[in-house]
Chains A and B, each alone.
Chain A
Amino acid sequence: MTTKAYSLFSLARNALSYHRNWQRAWRSPQPKAAYDVVIIGGGGHGLATAYYLATQCGITNVAVLEKGWLGGGNTGRNTTIVRSNYLLDASAGIYEHAVKLWEGLSQELNYNVMFSQRGLLHLAHSVHDLQEIGRRGNAIHLNGIDSEFLTPDQVKEMLPIINLNCRYPVMGALLQKRGGTARHDAVAWGYARGADAAGVDIIQNCEVSGIRIENNRVVGVDTNRGAIKAGKVASVAAGHSSVIADMAGFKLPLECYPLQALVSEPVKPIIDCVVMSNGIHVYVSQSDKGELVVGSGSDAYNSYSQRGSFDLIEHTVGPLCELFPLFSRLRMLRQWAGIVDVTVDRSPIMSKSPVQNLFFNCGWGTGGFKATPGSGHAFAHSVAAGEMNEIAAPFSIDRFNTGALIDEGAAAAVAH
Chain B
Amino acid sequence: MFIIQCPWCGDRDQTEFSCHGEAHIARPKNTESMTDEQWGDYVFFRSNPKGMHRERWVHAHGCRRWFNALRDTATDEIFATYKVGETPPEIPESSSANTSTGNASGDRS
Contact = CB atoms under 8 A, between A and B. Distances in A.
Nearest to B39: A401
Nearest to A299: B19
A9 B39 CA distance: 61
Dominant secondary structure of chain B at its interface with chain A? mixed
B41 interface: yes
Interface of A: 240, 242-243, 246, 251-256, 300-305, 307, 309-311, 341, 343-344, 400-403
Contacts of B50: 240, 242-243, 256, 304
Contacts of B40: 253, 400-401
Given A255-B21, A401-B37, A401-B39, A305 B48 contact: no
A311 B19 contact: no
A404 to B, nearest CB: 11
B32 interface: no
A307 B75 CA distance: 9
Contacts of B46: 242, 251-255
B53 to A, nearest CB: 6
Contacts of B48: 242, 251-252, 254-256, 302, 341
B73 interface: yes
29 contacts: A242-B46, A242-B47, A242-B50, A243-B50, A251-B41, A251-B46, A252-B46, A252-B48, A253-B40, A253-B44, A253-B45, A254-B48, A255-B46, A256-B50, A256-B73, A301-B19, A302-B19, A302-B21, A303-B73, A305-B73, A305-B75, A307-B76, A343-B44, A400-B40, A400-B43, A401-B37, A401-B40, A402-B36, A403-B36
| Max count, chain A CB within 10 A of own CB: residue among B15, B19, B48 | B48
A343 B46 CA distance: 10
Interface residues of B, number: 27
Contacts of B44: 253, 343-344, 400
B62 interface: no
B28 to A, nearest CB: 15
Contact of B19 (A246, A253, A300, A403): A300
Counting chain A CB atoms within 10 Å of each CB, which of B22, B40, B75 scores highest?
B40
Interface in B56-76: 73-76
Contact of A401 (B15, B36, B53, B55): B36
A303 B76 contact: yes
Contacts of A300: 18-19
Contacts of A305: 73-76
B16 to A, nearest CB: 10
